[in-house]
Amino acid sequence: MAVIAGNWKMHKNRQEALAFLQEFAPLVATSDQEIVLCAPFTALAVLAEKLIGTRIALGAQNVHWEAAGAYTGEISPPMLTDLGVRYVIVGHSERRQYFGETDERVNLRLKAAQRYGLTPILCVGETDEQRQQGLTEAHILAQLAQALVGVKISQVIIAYEPIWAIGTGNTCPPEEANRVIGLIRKEMSILPQVSSQSNENVRILYGGSVKPDNIDELMAMPEIDGVLVGTASLDPQAFARIVNYQKTR
Ligand code: PGA
């Protein structure tokens, strides 16, 4: 079963979220994929109610590491689980780039999410400049090495999202995404914080300009266990086509 996760980022009010769902849910009703909608905090409650009895799971886009406290503007793991949220994106490149997210905080968020039974989707990926300089692998492994300390590997999803491919329409060629994900899988297994755990089943997604017209090719790659979709997840028809990709393996 592939993980097909949508990241709505800062889009859709409650009404728009419900209108999306009304059109989207019937289109994926017979899907056997693990479908996740990561909506803004403000839309989670209304969506949760409508998702009962469907195969679509709810995700958030960030989470604090404490259960409660004087952290103005933050949302805690039990506040999310209280709404029926089951997944949470952690360390998205936009949070790293615009909101000062560090690997250390990513690690705190991952551990807190897991403590409360949320499945974190950990995002890693290189900038265009890092890629040009041949630093792709080293950068991603450094991100993983710091983020995964004390994290249960069997209960985390990793998303490889090359920053130059996000929101640009410039998708990473499927063979290259496959190569990097294969490498992450291999190199990760020898990190000391990972090698002590069984990590055969770690699921690694690709993200960055996934669209209806490239999903089939991406999902044909043996190392790609699913996708994290931004822009195309805002449109019910486009996202349904991605969920219902043509299986060739
Ligand atoms: P995109 O976003 O599909 O619009 O490139 C992906 C993401 O940021 O997760």
pLDDT digits (tens, 9 = 90+) for 14-50: 999 999 999 999 999 999 999 999 999 999 999 999 9
User: Is residue 193 over pLDDT 80?
Assistant: no
Q: Is 64 noted as a catalytic residue in this protein?
A: no
Given the DSSP bridges, would you call strands 87-90 and 226-229 parallel, antiparallel or unpaired? unpaired
In a domain, 213, yes or no: yes
Distance of alpha carbon 24 from alpha carbon 37, whole angstroms: 11
In a domain, 249, yes or no: no
Instruction: Name the catalytic one among 34, 64, 92, 94.
Output: 92
Instruction: Name the catalytic one among 34, 94, 101, 161.
Output: 161
- Render pLDDT for 116-156 as a digit per residue (tens, 0 to 9): 999 999 999 999 999 999 999 999 999 999 999 999 998 99
In a domain, 248, yes or no: no
In a domain, 188, yes or no: yes
Convert 196-229 to b/e letters by CB count within 10 Å (16 or more is b).
eeebeebbbbbbbbbebebbebbbebebbbbbbb
In a domain, 129, yes or no: yes
**Token match 């690997």: residue?**
103
Question: What residue ranges line ligand 1, CB within 6 angstroms?
Answer: 7, 161, 166-167, 207-210, 228-232
Residue 6 confidence (pLDDT): 98
In a domain, 169, yes or no: yes
Ligand 1 centroid to residue 195 C-alpha, Å: 30
Residue 198 confidence (pLDDT): 67
User: Is residue 242 over pLDDT 90?
Assistant: yes
The CA-based angle 238-38-18, given to 5 degrees, is 65
Nearest residue to 6 (alpha-carbon basis) of 171, 237, 170: 237
**Token match 């999903």: residue?**
215
Residue 188: pLDDT band by 50, 70, 90 thresholds?
A: confident
- Render pLDDT for 4-15 as a digit per residue (tens, 0 to 9): 999 999 999 999
Q: Is 101 noted as a catalytic residue in this protein?
A: no
CATH number for the domain that contains residue 238: 3.20.20.70
Which residue has the CA at smallest separation from atom 6 of ligand 1?
A: 230
User: Is residue 210 over pLDDT 90?
Assistant: yes
Q: How many domains does the chain have?
A: 1
Ligand 1 centroid to residue 169 C-alpha, Å: 9
User: Is residue 248 over pLDDT 90?
Assistant: no
Ligand 1 test: best mutation among 92, 210, 215, most atoms within 8 Å of CB?
210
- Render pLDDT for 41-80 as a digit per residue (tens, 0 to 9): 999 999 999 999 899 999 999 999 999 999 999 999 999 9
Range of the domain at 225: 3-243
Ligand 1 centroid to residue 101 C-alpha, Å: 18
Which residue has the CA at smallest separation from atom 7 of ligand 1?
A: 230
Ligand 1 centroid to residue 135 C-alpha, Å: 22
Residue 166: pLDDT band by 50, 70, 90 thresholds?
A: very high
Which residue has the CA at smallest separation from atom 3 of ligand 1?
A: 230
In a domain, 160, yes or no: yes
Ligand 1 test: best mutation among 209, 227, 234, 241, most atoms within 8 Å of CB?
209
